[in-house]
């Protein structure tokens, strides 16, 4: 998955219906569970807020007006809520590539169940998507499949499961369950919205395992697979997984304060991560990721940059002080 693929979108528009629309990718996926999976909401037992900005294929010199470097910002957060037996969460992102902008808002609920040494989250989410089109340079200005500047918004759904323990986390989610179709203005006579895209299902699987290398060093191998599943669930080729992305990596965390890591994105890039924590209980975290595009350099710029800022809220405590009991007052 090469970020939000403009080529896929343009070919889809020309064909009259969208192929699998790629969603934003993040090198900080190990810190960004709320973006990936609604079941993550509150699963860690404390709230958190995360902001990530990504500039992909920096400086890519495309031949169209707005350039071809995807620019993405995502804000996410989650909070455990004991009264509902789980947690709530949200994320908002804006993704811009060339003349297209996508805005996504999601609200999530996760039901938490005790399973072994950890917790299992069962999550659902409501999604509001908005796609906006700018001005295209069409070979045929009267082509009804080429969108004019316009936008469309639709509601959609997602679901997922997430397991979290001190050692292991793993999650699987699927979004765009309604496969909403987005229509845009065009030059078509009598049918002004023939330019359209179809938001196909995307599935995410991610996992990580904490290895205690020493009393002060934790090594965490991670993996993520991003799968595109075009078509209806009843289709025979639904699970052939078109246009996917696979990543593996590992990071080492020192005293819960400093971390560094390396990653590999299949058939695209190598990634380096650096970060550190600040403030009381290391609650404030700052991270930077650099992607070196090692493959297909003729078609892409050779670097991507990503910055992360997050804050972990204190773990919830008792609302009132516990009663002090002594033998003096036991009679």
pLDDT at position 146, please?
A: 83
CB distance 261 to 249 below 8 Å: yes
Q: How many CB atoms lie within 10 A of CB 114?
A: 8
How much of the chain exceeds pLDDT 90, in percent? 63
Residues pairing with 93 in the sheet: 74, 104
Sequence-distant (≥ 6) Cβ neighbours of residue 58 within 8 angstroms: 69, 301, 303, 304, 305
Q: Which helix (H) or strand (E) holds 250?
A: strand 242-254
User: For the ranges 2-6, 31-35, 212-216, 281-285, which has the lowest average pLDDT?
Assistant: 2-6
* Nearest CA among 54, 127, 57, 66 for reference residue 100: 66
Q: How many CB atoms lie within 10 A of CB 276?
A: 15
pLDDT at position 14, please?
A: 32
Predicted confidence (pLDDT) per residue in 85-120, tens digit: 999 999 999 999 888 899 999 999 999 999 999 999
pLDDT category of residue 264 using cuts at 50, 70 and 90: very high
CB distance 265 to 247 below 8 Å: yes
pLDDT category of residue 21 using cuts at 50, 70 and 90: very low
Greatest Cα-to-Cα distance within the chain, rounded to the nearest angstrom: 93
- Average pLDDT (288-304) is 87
Q: Which is higher by pLDDT, 320 or 162?
A: 162
Which regions of 19-149 does DSSP assign to beta strands (E)? 48-55, 71-81, 86-97, 100-115, 118-133
Rounded to the nearest integer, the mean pLDDT of the chain is 86
CB distance 15 to 145 below 8 Å: yes
User: Does residue 325 have a pLDDT over 80?
Assistant: no
pLDDT category of residue 3 using cuts at 50, 70 and 90: very low
User: Does residue 187 have a pLDDT over 80?
Assistant: no
- Average pLDDT (259-276) is 96
pLDDT at position 107, please?
A: 98
pLDDT category of residue 323 using cuts at 50, 70 and 90: low
How much of the chain exceeds pLDDT 70, in percent? 84
Which runs of consecutive H residues, i.e. helices, occur in the chain? 6-15, 33-36
Q: Which is higher by pLDDT, 208 or 23?
A: 208
Report helix, strand or coil for 301: coil
User: Does residue 6 have a pLDDT over 60?
Assistant: no
The CA distance from 252 to 260, in Å, is 6
The CA distance from 217 to 258, in Å, is 10
The helix/strand count (H/E) of the chain reads as: 2, 17
pLDDT category of residue 15 using cuts at 50, 70 and 90: very low
pLDDT at position 321, please?
A: 54
- The dihedral of CA 225, 98, 182, 198: what is its sign? negative
pLDDT at position 185, please?
A: 85
pLDDT at position 23, please?
A: 87
Q: Is 87 exposed, middle or buried (0-12, 13-18, 19+ CB in 10 A)?
A: buried
Q: Which residue has the tokens 């003729």?
A: 298
CB distance 73 to 102 below 8 Å: no
Residue 126 in tokens: 């409501």
User: Does residue 8 have a pLDDT over 60?
Assistant: no
Which runs of consecutive H residues, i.e. helices, occur in 54-182? none
- Average pLDDT (279-293) is 94
Report helix, strand or coil for 240: helix
Q: Is 310 exposed, middle or buried (0-12, 13-18, 19+ CB in 10 A)?
A: buried
Report helix, strand or coil for 327: helix
- Hey, what long-range contacts does 81-87 have (CB within 8 A, 24 or more apart)? 81/42, 82/316, 84/109, 85/111, 85/112, 86/41, 86/42, 86/110, 86/111, 86/112, 86/121, 87/41, 87/42, 87/43, 87/112, 87/121
CB distance 38 to 106 below 8 Å: yes
């Amino acid at each position: 998955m090469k970020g939000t693929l403009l080529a896929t979108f343009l070919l889809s528009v020309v064909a009259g219906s969208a192929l699998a629309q790629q969603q934003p990718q993040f090198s900080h996926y190990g810190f960004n569970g709320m973006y990936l999976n609604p079941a993550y909401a509150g699963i860690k037992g404390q709230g958190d807020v995360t902001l990530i900005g990504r500039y992909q294929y920096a400086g890519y010199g495309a031949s169209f007006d707005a350039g071809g470097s995807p620019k993405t910002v995502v804000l996410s957060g989650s909070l455990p809520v004991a009264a509902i037996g789980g947690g709530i969460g949200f994320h908002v992102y804006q993704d811009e590539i060339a003349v297209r902008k996508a805005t996504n808002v999601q609200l999530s609920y996760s039901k938490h169940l005790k399973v072994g040494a950890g917790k299992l989250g069962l999550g659902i989410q409501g999604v509001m998507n908005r796609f906006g089109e700018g001005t295209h340079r069409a070979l045929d200005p009267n082509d009804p499949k080429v969108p004019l500047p316009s936008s469309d918004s639709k509601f959609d759904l997602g679901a997922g499961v997430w397991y979290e323990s001190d050692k292991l986390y793993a999650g699987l989610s699927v979004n765009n369950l309604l496969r909403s179709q987005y229509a845009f203005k065009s030059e078509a006579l009598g049918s002004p919205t023939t330019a359209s895209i179809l938001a196909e299902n995307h599935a995410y699987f991610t996992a990580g395992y904490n290895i205690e290398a020493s009393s002060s060093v934790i090594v965490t191998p991670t993996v993520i697979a991003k799968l595109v599943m075009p078509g209806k669930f009843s289709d025979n080729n639904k699970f052939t997984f078109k246009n996917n992305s696979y990543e593996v990596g590992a990071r080492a965390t020192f005293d819960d304060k400093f971390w560094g890591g390396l990653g590999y994105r299949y058939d695209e890039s190598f990634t380096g991560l650096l970060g550190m924590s600040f403030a009381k209980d290391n609650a404030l975290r700052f991270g930077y990721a650099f992607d070196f595009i090692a493959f297909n350099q003729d078609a892409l710029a050779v670097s991507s940059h990503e910055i992360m800022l997050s804050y972990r809220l204190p773990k919830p405590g008792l609302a009132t002080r516990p009663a002090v009991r002594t033998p003096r007052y036991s009679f």
